[in-house]
């Protein structure tokens, strides 16, 4: 395979975590207001402002960590598999990209299910005495 094609494949593979890192930083820095266009949008997060803020903060932090680690691992995988084992490198990279994309979603969903929003306040499973759920 031509060198330019291999370079294009590697660039395309590495762009996925780079774009996700940029989105995670934007979510952490700009803290998007509740909307239906940008942010971690689910029925649960759109139902309460505090849940929206918590979900976006958790997703931003977890996505940033996962994607930075994923980018490092992807770089190593591509370095050792391309050009001799292009198919193995691409399949492994695709699998890693999917995993690093799913982990933040699972992390956020588990954490926002543990909490619930009542009158704009978030209550977790561990409630202090005297707190009204």
pTM: 0.81
- Taking only the tens place, the pLDDT of each residue in 12-41 is 899 999 999 999 999 999 998 988 888 898
Q: Which residue has the tokens 């890192």?
A: 21
Q: Which domain holds residue 28?
A: 3-35+62-123
Closest residue by Cα to residue 5 from 82, 75, 73: 82
Residue 113 counted as domain residue = yes
| Total number of domains in the chain | 1
Dist CA 70 CA 101 (whole Å): 9
Residue 90 counted as domain residue = yes
Cis ω for the linkage preceding 83 (within 30 of 0): yes
Residue 118 counted as domain residue = yes
Residue 49 counted as domain residue = no
Residue 20 counted as domain residue = yes
Dist CA 33 CA 71 (whole Å): 29
Residue 15 counted as domain residue = yes
Please name every residue paired with 116 in a beta bridge, in sequence order, or none if there are none.
123
Residue 51 counted as domain residue = no
- Taking only the tens place, the pLDDT of each residue in 63-85 is 999 999 999 999 999 888 887 88
């Amino acid at each position: 395979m031509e060198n330019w094609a291999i370079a294009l494949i590697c660039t395309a593979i590495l762009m996925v975590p780079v774009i996700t890192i940029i989105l995670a930083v934007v979510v952490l820095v700009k803290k998007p207001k509740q909307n239906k266009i940008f942010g971690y949008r689910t029925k649960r997060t759109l139902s309460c402002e505090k849940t929206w803020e918590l979900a976006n903060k958790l997703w931003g932090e977890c996505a940033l960590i996962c994607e930075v680690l994923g980018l490092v691992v992807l770089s190593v995988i591509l370095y050792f598999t391309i050009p001799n084992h292009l198919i193995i490198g691409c399949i492994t990279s695709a699998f890693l990209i999917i995993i690093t994309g799913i982990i933040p979603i699972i992390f956020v969903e588990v954490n926002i299910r543990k909490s619930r929003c009542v009158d704009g306040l978030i209550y977790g499973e561990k409630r202090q005495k005297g707190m009204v759920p």
